[in-house]
Amino acid sequence: MSKPHTLRAHRGQKLQGHVCVPGDKSISHRSLMFGALAIGRTRITGLLEGEDVINTARIVTQLGARATKIDDTWEVLGRGVGGLTQPDGDLDFGNSGTGARLMLGVVAGNSVSARFVGDESLSRRPMGRVLTPLQAMGLRVDKNRTTLPMMVHGTPDVLPFEYELPVPSAQVKSAVLIAGLHARGRTTVIEAEATRDHTERMLRYLGAKISVEERGDARAIHVEGDAELQGRDITVPGDPSSAAFLVAAAAITPDSDVTIENVLINPTRTGFYTTLCEMGANIEFLNEREAGGETIADIRVRSSELKGANVPAVRAPSMIDEYPVLAVVAAFADGDTVMNGLAELKVKESDRLAATSDGLQANGIAATVSGDTLTVHGMKNPPGGGRVATHLDHRIAMAFAVLGLAADRPVEVDDGAIIATSFPEFEPLMAKLGATIERIEST
């Protein structure tokens, strides 16, 4: 990670232009992992080269599936399902909860032992929710640890399993389905609320037998074991969670007109955009098309007069990473915005619910937390002028940098270096659109 530095975002001129955001983080992680489990060569274009994904590339290489960059394309030489090899040294995930949790599912079905480690933030985050089903399928964990660092032991004899998710979680669902690739029989995950389905789409694209069954109001996702995946070409579309920061900035900055090209608009990822439209944002989805099993489009957003909204809890899985920047947008709306069902925010890179509320209040914006609900009292012209503690959370850093672009006074975030974990191009892209974000190096 780069040296810690403060960011100070200033209110400036309108934002204008056409840009592309980096590749989707969720799809980037999966393309590397699933390429490692496939037979043959997987070529990946558009891979996000943030620190989290580069750590995943390094780890699949440690497990015997060499991942290398050749010109603008990444290649993974797959080992096949169950074919990964004993790593030399710790598997270091840095700040990536997605990388660690999905890789537990990968390791579960291989005859390897591995020590999972991460940075200070990741080492505080709970892994028990994903370990519970994986241990039932045969994964062993030394000392029954539920946080990193932890030593885990996979097995070639994974048990097929049916698991009902106690709370919506694409990471838990994905880890179980990945482990199920190695089982002798069918593994099923039942979810009461739809979560990100990138795992199902990509595994099907690579040849896994995936089916979905409606069970009343729930969905059962099945994967057949003893799977054989075939390496294929994968194009990673632009990350809608990264695009959200640019969209938010354009919506709240007067006279702005910004288009973000080639963005993933998978319906399990567009809750933020649905909510902004309900708030009155001027958003268009242009040139909608298909690529590699996913839907992409160009998103045009213009500055908008916004009103408060009530965001239902059922929408949370489709926008869980966007709540901090939605809270910033809500500060510029007329009336209250009420965001429900945010329990998952408490176990992200930081306690994002508390960090978001604290950051708003530090900038003169009234916000209240009650249980799992955040209410932002919109004021159209937030004062700003505060300093925000990021708590090693990249999305908190970017969200409050966006606040400073339209608040009356500049906003500081205490560490902009953490942004490199997911969106290393954030500062130059914002500058290209006309934003003024000052970097203040630590002394």
Strands (E), 134-217: 140-141, 150-153, 162-164, 186-191, 210-215
CATH number at residue 40: 3.65.10.10
Q: Is residue 350 within 8 Å of residue 391, measured between CB atoms?
A: yes
pTM (two decimals): 0.86
- Final residue of a structural domain among 202, 235, 268: 235
What element of type H or E holds 230? strand 229-230
- State whether 429 and 291 are in the same domain: yes
pLDDT at 290: 85
Using a 10 angstrom Cβ sphere, with 0-12 exposed, 13-18 middle and 19 or more buried, the burial of residue 233 is exposed
Q: Is residue 84 within 8 Å of residue 64, measured between CB atoms?
A: yes
Q: Is residue 236 within 8 Å of residue 34, measured between CB atoms?
A: no
- State whether 88 and 192 are in the same domain: yes
- State whether 33 and 143 are in the same domain: yes
pLDDT at 2: 64
Does residue 4 carry a pLDDT above 90?
A: no
Give the model's confidence band at 317: pLDDT under 50 very low, under 70 low, under 90 confident, else very high: confident
Does residue 73 carry a pLDDT above 70?
A: yes
Q: What is the DSSP string of 156-170?
A: S-PPP-EEE-SS--H
- Of 92, 119, 197, 321, the active-site residue reads 321
Dihedral of the alpha carbons of 192, 198, 204, 209, in degrees to the nearest 10 = -30
* Alpha-carbon span 328 to 326, nearest angstrom: 5
- State whether 133 and 279 are in the same domain: no
- State whether 244 and 265 are in the same domain: yes
- State whether 273 and 372 are in the same domain: yes
* Alpha-carbon span 225 to 332, nearest angstrom: 50
Helix, strand or coil, per DSSP, at residue 415: coil
Supply the range of the domain harboring residue 396. 5-23+237-441
pLDDT at 294: 87
Mean pLDDT estimate for the chain: 95
Helix, strand or coil, per DSSP, at residue 36: helix
Does residue 285 carry a pLDDT above 60?
A: yes
- Final residue of a structural domain among 235, 260, 288: 235
Rg of the Cα atoms in the chain: 21
Q: Is residue 122 within 8 Å of residue 93, measured between CB atoms?
A: yes
Does residue 395 carry a pLDDT above 70?
A: yes
Give the model's confidence band at 434: pLDDT under 50 very low, under 70 low, under 90 confident, else very high: very high
- State whether 17 and 46 are in the same domain: no
Does residue 283 carry a pLDDT above 70?
A: yes
The total number of structural domains in the chain stands at 2
Does residue 442 carry a pLDDT above 90?
A: no
Does residue 149 carry a pLDDT above 90?
A: yes
- State whether 318 and 427 are in the same domain: yes
Q: Is residue 78 within 8 Å of residue 41, measured between CB atoms?
A: yes
pLDDT at 53: 95
142 is catalytic: no
Find the angle CA(230)-CA(234)-CA(235) to the nearest 5 degrees: 170
Beta-bridge partner residues of 299: 260, 285
User: Which positions ≥6 away from 153 have C-beta within 8 Å?
Assistant: 112, 113, 139, 140, 141, 142
Give the model's confidence band at 349: pLDDT under 50 very low, under 70 low, under 90 confident, else very high: low
- State whether 299 and 380 are in the same domain: yes
Does residue 392 carry a pLDDT above 90?
A: no
What element of type H or E holds 176? helix 170-180
Would you say the C-alpha torsion 289, 294, 298, 300 has a positive or negative sign? positive
